[in-house]
Structure 1
Amino acid sequence: MSDADMNKTADSDKIRKKFWKAMADSPCVMIALEGDLRHAIPMRAQLDKDANSAIWFYTSGHNRLAKGGAAMMQFSAKGHDLFACVSGNLTEETDEAIIDKHWNNAAAAWYEEGRQDPSLLMLRLDLHDAEIWEADPGVVGLFKMVTGITMKGDELGDHAKIPL
């Protein structure tokens, strides 16, 4: 592997770790099924530190995402310093152990009958890949933004296309 390839891999690993940390700090995302021209839906992600290629969501069987399929998820970090667009496939999660593992008060607040609510559905987004933008302009970038000097793309932060 060349030095350039090793640096690219290191950069991808760094931005991937920042993505997962930002998701843990603020797990709210927008999701839409591919080919569905309706607006994306806000969802609260249920993250598992041991499963870095899937994210879960509690919803209702009446939600338009319930049918599953190819999906796109958008994420913006709390501080607006990291943005991601993630592709994946939504499917119903049927493993009761996983459904129970992620159940919490925030999820319970949405269901009249709690965990036993007949409308409760858990979806799993199996992640394929992502484009992640890190908005960290640094000193030179900040100076250019404040003074109106034209910025180059790499002066605003890192950008990576990564498999998840």
Structure 2
Amino acid sequence: MTPQELEQKFWSHLESDRTVFLATEGAKPRPMHAAFEGKAAPIWFFTSYDTELGEVLKQGPREATMTFAAKGHDFWASASGQLTLDNDKAVIDRLWSPFVAAWYDGKTDPKLALARYDIREAHLWEDGSSLVAGIQSLLGRDPKESAEDKTGHIRMAG
């Protein structure tokens, strides 16, 4: 599988289930809802200034790791990049939804913080199916060979 194909799978799976785990120095890892436009970076996270994440980001940009598993547990990703506060009003307007609105007192809520995540790189894994691997072993084939094109390390343009 080419890096471009892996990246497309990354965006497709993320679009299907936008719940990720986000970690950064100074703030414990937490589940977050990933918002993005099209199948391209950046990824946006709505948070609050009064959370541990909001407090840390007020001090400046942070290196962050985002991980997720696809709904079918057949695709996994671990991405690294920079997380920065960026309360761009136009982006807030475009990404605002009933899901986001449930957490805030409107788009002008003083606690509302929008974080921009610029992914630099990602490690991606697609399930090679243990059943298929077992059958390959029984037939004398090395299951690792077919798994090689189902993993990859890609650079992301953000």
Shorter-chain TM-score category?
0.7 to 0.9
Matched, 1:41 2:30: yes
How well do the aligned residues superpose, as a CA RMSD in angstroms? 2.5
Could you tell me the TM-score, scaled by structure 2's length? 0.83
Matched, 1:86 2:76: no
Question: Which shifted more, 69-78 or 133-142?
Answer: 133-142
- Who is 1:60 aligned against? 48
Q: CA deviation at 1:151?
A: 6.5
Match of 1:17 among 8, 12, 15: 8
Match of 1:120 among 93, 112, 116: 112
CA contact (8 A) 1:83 1:134 kept: yes
- Who is 2:98 aligned against? 105
Q: CA deviation at 1:63?
A: 2.1
Q: CA deviation at 1:139?
A: 6.7
SS of 2:35's partner is: coil
Q: CA deviation at 1:109?
A: 0.8
CA contact (8 A) 1:60 1:121 kept: yes
CA contact (8 A) 1:138 1:155 kept: no
Q: CA deviation at 1:95?
A: 1.6
Letter of the 1:120 counterpart: L
Could you tell me the TM-score, scaled by structure 1's length? 0.80
Count of residues paired in the alignment? 149
- Who is 1:137 aligned against? 129
Question: Which shifted more, 102-111 or 41-50?
Answer: 41-50
- Who is 1:5 aligned against? none
Structure 1: gaps (5+ residues) = 1-9
Q: CA deviation at 1:143?
A: 2.9
Question: Which shifted more, 149-158 or 76-85?
Answer: 149-158
Question: Which shifted more, 59-68 or 117-126?
Answer: 59-68
Give % identity. Answer: 32
